[in-house]
Chain A
């Protein structure tokens, strides 16, 4: 296998070093174009995320691929020659395939099992397709990697459970309510984490949001800000995880993608008005910076007690905003920051337990991939082609045997053999003509086409 993966990631380098080599904006596309123009690499793909910058490429004869790539990156970023390459890793052949499968499955991610990486890998593949640096092998490899990622998501619990406080708030809400669609949310305070949690809930379909703050203008600004979500916030929330697990949410997200502005009813109120509104909401997120409790007192307690609905209060403020006594009300579920941290820690620990299952999936797919790759050699394909026709010939003779006299049997066999040889002549001559000068990708594509055309792969091998 002539595939190589070269990269730098959070495993090998600190953020300061990674930043120097990252390829944000159109730099990844420019690198791919430069590599294409050079003509040294036959196929290439650049994956650039917050935690990794990697280049996957197919090259038959590369003496110093790392030096070659770093030279390009240095020129692109206007850096001096890069002498220290200790932070970079190089995987060749099946090790490179294993690596891309592990990346797609989320095993190499900083938070093991996060699903964002699969989307980023798809985006990287799209870019490479646009530039025209992917051909037969890379196409096959990437689609195989996407399948590994999907299997890891669907067949294991690797990405299950929240890995951030904001996500934990959504997870808790999903334990209480069958759907968040149409539920009312009250955000008390204008803290960043609270707003992020409210954004996550809004994107799960909550219908009405009330923002309470000491300053009513600030409350209005926060309420308006909930409608949009920047890419960093989307990544921090890991909302895809929740969406992937919930078909209803998935449908909702298809109609309203994560980063698209969402519409809902919003209302800005002052903290003094909270007791008047608290009885009509399903979820309350407290995130003020107030030194004293905000959600306390007889009026609040009475309003909540009178409410016939279950109310989830997520208090992520320190010092706490919600009076712990509220938890004594039968319809109130009060969770503070420690509870949420406990939930996050437990989820991250349980993700680690799923790693062996994902590794088994990767081993399984690697075995299939290797079988497929081995099938792309010219000589075994010619042998298989001959065997295939020989079997057809034998089966036909056996089937038609009764229609011919014994004396004609030999002639029948000679005739059919000759016919098969004539049919096979051109395909075999074509396969033999695929010389070493033909690019690997073209040769493999031709072999793959012949195998598919003559049905040489079993149904289970066809991808």
Chain B
């Protein structure tokens, strides 16, 4: 089993690298822009099988180590993107999504073997509630990541149109409205997932009896989760109540994602 896990651990970044190249070809050469990628479901299945196998090996869901979480984020981003691609029949943004997915999985694969010791596993949960909390939080971060990517692309596309820069991006990016809508849906999903995650977290805090000071990792998680919720909620409220336009939502999504990503990396480094 260990050999299979190690093999899969190194194969996954290569697979995502292949996807980056494939989507890069679509983006730069403008081929197969509206065709669905048939390899994606296979890669999703392979990745899910890897995580399941790793869960069996560890004896608990592979969610409680920072680098495991990165791998889960890579998988959930791929899965969410696959759904978006199937519905939208547009794969021109895949390059940007899979660049992030590749980086997440590569970082995970490089450090996973060094962080796999039982002592380093986050002692978050053996309970079902906590698993739900973690899974939903992962989906929330994934949604924010996608909102950030679509938001950034929206801003780049908008800047190009404003500057009358009729170049590479003018031809290759989907219409501004499509990017704005994708960003909006992603941030809406992020708010829903993060609200559920925060709610389950608060319930757990009530039910758990703490002895001694709260661990730094948990504090970091609470802070980052709260920031993520505020980002998503402000964008949703702004659009719904304050009548923000797509560009303003895109700024919040892209900026928010950048901030949360930096905080996540910093908290991982500190822990």
Contacts and interface: CB of A to CB of B under 8 A. Distances in A.
Interface stretch (A13-21, A119-127, A207-215, A328-336): A328-336
Interface stretch (B138-146, B158-166, B259-267): B158-166
Interface string B166-180: 100011001111100
Interface string B227-271: 000000000000000010111000000000000000000000000
B130 interface: no
Nearest to A175: B175
B217 interface: no
Interface string A311-340: 000000000000000010011010100010
A333 B162 contact: yes
B181 A308 contact: no
Contact of A176 (B30, B161, B181): B161
A157 B175 CA distance: 18
B216 to A, nearest CB: 42
B175 A310 contact: no
A166 B222 CA distance: 55
A370 interface: no
Interface in A165-192: 174-178
Nearest to A350: B171
Contacts of A174: 175
Given A176-B176, A176-B177, A310 B30 contact: no
A439 interface: no
Contacts of B157: 175
A335 B163 CA distance: 10
Nearest to B29: A157
A67 to B, nearest CB: 48
A11 interface: no
A177 B245 contact: no
B245 A157 contact: no
A327 B159 CA distance: 12
Nearest to A176: B176
A419 to B, nearest CB: 47
Contacts, number: 44
Contact of A308 (B34, B162, B178, B243): B243
Interface size on A, as a range, is: 20 to 34
Given A310-B245, A330-B247, A335 B164 contact: yes
Interface in A59-97: none
Given A176-B161, A177-B175, A177-B177, A157 B170 contact: no
A175 B245 contact: no
Nearest to B248: A330
Contacts of A418: none
Interface in B24-54: 30, 34
Contacts of A308: 243, 245
Interface string A357-385: 00000000000000000000000000000
Contacts of A333: 161-162
Interface string A111-142: 00000000000000000000000000000000
A309 interface: yes
Interface centre among A161, A176, A335 (most CB of B within 10 A): A176
A339 B164 CA distance: 7
Contacts of B164: 335, 339, 342
B186 to A, nearest CB: 16
Residue from B166, B175, B178 whose CB has the most chain A CB atoms within 10 Å: B166
Contacts of B170: 175
Interface string B144-161: 000000000000010001
B268 to A, nearest CB: 37
A346 B175 contact: no
A150 to B, nearest CB: 16
A343 B176 CA distance: 18
A435 B214 CA distance: 99
B181 A178 contact: yes
Contacts of A161: 171
Contacts of A335: 164
Contacts of B243: 308
Interface string A249-279: 0000000000000000000000000000000
B30 A157 contact: yes
Contacts of A327: 162
Given A310-B177, A339-B164, 5 more contacts: A160-B30, A177-B176, A178-B175, A178-B177, A339-B166
Chain A to chain B: the 10 pairs with minimum beta-carbon distance, closest first: A178-B177, A178-B178, A177-B177, A178-B175, A176-B176, A333-B161, A339-B164, A308-B243, A343-B166, A308-B245
24 contacts: A160-B30, A175-B157, A175-B161, A175-B175, A175-B176, A176-B175, A177-B175, A177-B176, A247-B34, A247-B89, A308-B243, A308-B245, A310-B176, A310-B177, A310-B245, A327-B162, A330-B245, A330-B247, A331-B245, A331-B247, A333-B162, A335-B164, A339-B166, A342-B164
